Structure 1
Amino acid sequence: MLERIRKVNETGAFNRWAGIEVVSAGDGQVELRLPWRDDLGQYAGYLHAALIGGLIDTGCGFAAATVAGPVLASHFSVNCLAPAVGTAFVVKARVVKPGRKQIFTAAELHAETASGTKLVATGEAILVPVEAG
C-alpha cells in the first residue's frame, strides 16, 4: 500500500513542487511530511495556510484511498490552531468512517521544532470514491 500511495503522490504536480513526502500508508491511515522551505511561507514567515489546507486535504485523501481506491474531496475544513513554524510539518490522517458513497476522514498537522512537536492545525474531509481514470 505504501508504494502505491507514494506513486500517486509522485503524479501530483502540486505535491512534487511542495515537496510532500509519504512516510507511511495503510489500513485507513497515512502520514505525510513536508520539510520547511522559505518559499512555502506567507508574509510573516509561517507556513502558508494554502499549504496547511493542501497537507490536510492530501493526507485525508490518501487515507481514504487506502480503503477505497481513487477518491475526490467533496468537502474539507481546516482549523488553524497556532502559527505553523518549524523545520518540517507532519500530517497524520485517518479514516473515521468508511462508506460506499462517502468516506469521512480527520487529520492533525504538527510542526517539528528543535524543542519537539506542536499541533498547529486540524481538519476533516469527506471524500467520494471515483473510477480510476
Structure 2
Amino acid sequence: MLDTIQAINRTASFNRWAGFEVHHAADGEAELRMNWREEDMGQYAGFLHAGMIAALLDTVSGYAASTKAGRVLASHFSVNCISPAIGSAFVARGRVVKAGRKQVFVVAELYAQPEGQGEDALKLVATGNAILVPIAVEELQPKPAA
C-alpha cells in the first residue's frame, strides 16, 4: 500500500512542489512529512501559511481514506489551527474513523518539528476532519460538452 500511495503522491504537481513525502500508508492510516522553506511557505509573520496547513491535512486525510476505499474525493473538510506552525519540518498524520460504502470519515493532525530536534519533540499545531467519498475511475473522466 505504501508504494501505491507514494506513486500517487509523485503524480501530483502541487505535492512535488511542496515536497510532501509519504512515510506511512496502511489500513486506514497515513503519514506525510514536509520540510519548511522560508522563502515560499510562510505567511506575513513567518509561520507556515494556513493554506499549506490545510493542504497537508487534506492530503493525508485522502491518503488514509484511500487505504480503505480506493480512489476518493473530499466532500467536506475542516481545519483547526491550534498554535503557530513554526518548525524545520512538519508531520501530518491521518486516521480513518469509519469507512462506509458512500463516505469515509477521517481525523488528521499536523505537528511541527522544532529546529534541531527529533520527532520526540513534535508539537501539535493543527487538526482536521474530513469526509471523503469513494469514486469510480469512470467518474474522473471529463464529460463531452453538450
TM-score calculated relative to the size of structure 2 = 0.89
Q: CA–CA distance in 1 between the matches of 2:122 and 2:104?
A: 28
Structure whose alpha-carbon radius of gyration is higher: 2
Q: CA–CA distance in 1 between the matches of 2:54 and 2:76?
A: 12
Corresponding residue for residue 40 of structure 1: 41
Corresponding residue for residue 82 of structure 1: 83
Q: CA–CA distance in 2 between the matches of 1:36 and 1:99?
A: 35
Could you say which structure has the higher strand fraction? 1
Cα distance, 1:52 vs. partner? 0.2
Q: Deviations over 1:21-52 (max 9, x none)?
A: 00010100000001000111111110000000
Q: CA–CA distance in 1 between the matches of 2:44 and 2:7?
A: 33
Superposition misfits of 4+ residues, deviation over 2 angstroms: none
1:16 aligns with 2:9: no
Please tell me the root mean square deviation across aligned C-alpha atoms, in Å. 0.8
Secondary structure, in 3 states, of the residue corresponding to 1:8? helix
Which amino acid letter does the alignment assign opposite residue 58 of structure 2? D
Cα distance, 1:117 vs. partner? 1.2
Secondary structure, in 3 states, of the residue corresponding to 1:45? coil
Gaps spanning 5+ residues in structure 1: where?
none
1:128 aligns with 2:133: yes
Q: CA–CA distance in 1 between the matches of 2:66 and 2:8?
A: 10
The 5 A counterparts of 1:1-133 are 1-38=1-38, 39-113=40-114, 114-115=116-117, 116-132=121-137, 133=140
Cα distance, 1:101 vs. partner? 0.2
Cα distance, 1:108 vs. partner? 0.6
Q: Deviations over 1:51-85 (max 9, x none)?
A: 00000000000000001100000000000000000
Secondary structure, in 3 states, of the residue corresponding to 1:123? strand
TM-score calculated relative to the size of structure 1 = 0.98
Secondary structure, in 3 states, of the residue corresponding to 1:84? coil
